[in-house]
Amino acid sequence: MPLDEADRRPTAARTLIDDRRVAADAKFEAFDFGDGNDVEDADGWEYTNEGDEMTRKVYFRNAEHPDADSERGHFTVRFESRSDVISEAYGSLDGAIFEDRAEVPAGPRP
């Protein structure tokens, strides 16, 4: 079922998977990958870890070579057990992990 159909279903008719997909999509759309990490496209969600983790392939614009093919990375969302509450979300590209820059406090870390 397309996401927009699941999103429009009454809350009582939605499943945990539907609710997680809605939460993961919202997190992905709001996620700040940082300067120079421009998302061009993304695939659908894949489920792992007995459904508590969702991952999608993400295609980043090649900042060093704009005319080259996109670079493939991933975006992962982890949920609290049996819940649609996100416990962790991060992006990755070539082994580098991206925290959500919108959630990282300014200044040095303690």
CA-to-CA separations, 80 to 10, 18, 28, 45, in angstroms, rounded: 23, 15, 17, 17
Residue labelled with tokens 């949920």? 79
Beta bridge partners of 91: 75, 98
Rounded mean pLDDT, 15-44: 93
pLDDT in tens, 46-93: 987 677 999 999 999 988 888 899 999 999 999 999 999 999 999 999
d(CA 58, CA 77): 13
d(CA 75, CA 92): 6
User: What pLDDT was estimated at residue 110?
Assistant: 40
Q: Which residue ranges make up each domain of the chain?
A: 3-98
CA-to-CA separations, 27 to 31, 41, 67, 76, 109, in angstroms, rounded: 6, 15, 29, 10, 23
- The residue ranking higher by pLDDT, 19 or 104, is 19
Length of the chain: 110
Grade residue 10 by pLDDT with cuts at 50, 70 and 90.
Answer: low
